[in-house]
Structures are given as C-alpha cells and as structure tokens.
A and B are shown apart, each in its own frame.
Chain A
C-alpha cells in the first residue's frame, strides 16, 4: 500500500509563473490536507478537502492560491503568479473517511521561486 504521493518533489518557478502541486492520497483515504512549511518553521494548515468539496480553507491566502480534489485523480494545490515569499515546502496529508484517524504525510514538494 503506497503512502501519500506528492509530485513533483522539487519545483522551480520564476516570479509570475504558476505552480501546480499534486497529491495522491493513500488508498482508501478520501480526506486530504495541505500544509505549508516555511524555512525553520513548523507546518501551517492551509486547506482541508474531501472528494469534490472544500471543507475548510481557513489557512489559504485569499488571493492566488486554490485547491481542488476532483472525483478522479489527485488533489491539486495551485499557486498563480508566484512570488518569492511562496518559496516553501508544501506537504499533503491524507486520512480515512470515518472515525478520528491519524493523517499521514507525503514527502512534500519544495517550491523555489526565483
């Protein structure tokens, strides 16, 4: 059973470009969470999604950031018109559909904006 898969592992974008980060949850998991980790800091919650629904996006910046988790395919975190301050590690976690179960983290995508 593969774990949470994120790709790409490393992504370099120029200022103003778009960044797309993908997350495939563990098999049987339909809850996905995105977190951002700035250098030397802890992880900060961004958004919580279930299939085709955004449940909690209280940690998402109001502009340029969006997330989706379609019925088929991975969850996507999209950052438009990236700026240097978006450089960070973005982690995805997934959990099962029922009960208070632990979320498992992917390897992360390290975004560098140049």
Chain B
C-alpha cells in the first residue's frame, strides 16, 4: 500500500522567512502533485511534477521531485500572509496506466504565516 508522509504537519513562520515542506512516499512513482487548500474550500492545483529532477516555480513557491529518494519538496521563499493555507502533496498510485488515476494524499501541512 502506498504511503505518503508530509512534514511538518504544522508550520508557523514569520513573513519574509524561508522554509521547506517535505513529502516522502513509499513506492515508485514519477508523478506527483502539490495542492493548496484554504479552509472550507476545494483544492487548488499548484504543481505537477512528472519526472525525476523536475523543478517548477511559481511566485514564492518552488517544488522539486527526486524519484530515486522518493521525495518531493515545496520551498517557500520570503513568505507572505497570503500563503497561509494547508498544502498537500499527492502521488499517482498507478503511474503505468494510460489515464489519470487515483491519488494518494499526504496528511497535509498547515502553514500559518504571521506578520
């Protein structure tokens, strides 16, 4: 059974600081997603990482994937209050199929950016 673990589970950081969220998973996969969820809302897709060594950046967020280590990171640079949300990584459980398939989610990291 695929397991996806995120850490930390909760992160309180000051504006302007940098930090990294880690996502480890237990079986081979070359397809990983990062989502943002605001309280009571749906999931907003942030990044899709499709191969080993993939790195994507959008604004103050940068995500990377190391399939050999089974590790993805979400790095936050110079945090601002608007980034406060819960961040989930999700791994494609059956990457060999020809169509999009079910995702296994991490437990989420609740990020709180304080002034």
On A, residues with C-beta under 8 Å from B are 31, 33, 35, 41-45, 48, 56, 59, 91, 95-108, 110
Contacts and interface: CB of A to CB of B under 8 A. Distances in A.
A105 B102 contact: no
A42 B42 CA distance: 12
B83 interface: no
Given A33-B103, A99-B98, A101-B99, 14 more contacts: A42-B90, A43-B90, A56-B102, A59-B102, A96-B100, A98-B98, A99-B99, A100-B97, A100-B99, A100-B100, A102-B100, A103-B103, A104-B45, A105-B42
B42 A41 contact: no
Interface of B: 4, 31, 33, 40-43, 45, 48, 88, 90, 92-93, 95, 97-108
B interface, by DSSP: helix, strand, loop or mixed?
A: loop
Contacts of A98: 98-99
A107 B41 contact: yes
Contact of B100 (A31, A41, A45, A108): A31
- Which of A31, A42, A96, A104 neighbours the largest number of chain B CB atoms within 10 Å of its CB? A42
B100 A101 contact: yes
- Which of B4, B92, B98, B102 neighbours the largest number of chain A CB atoms within 10 Å of its CB? B102
A41 B107 contact: yes
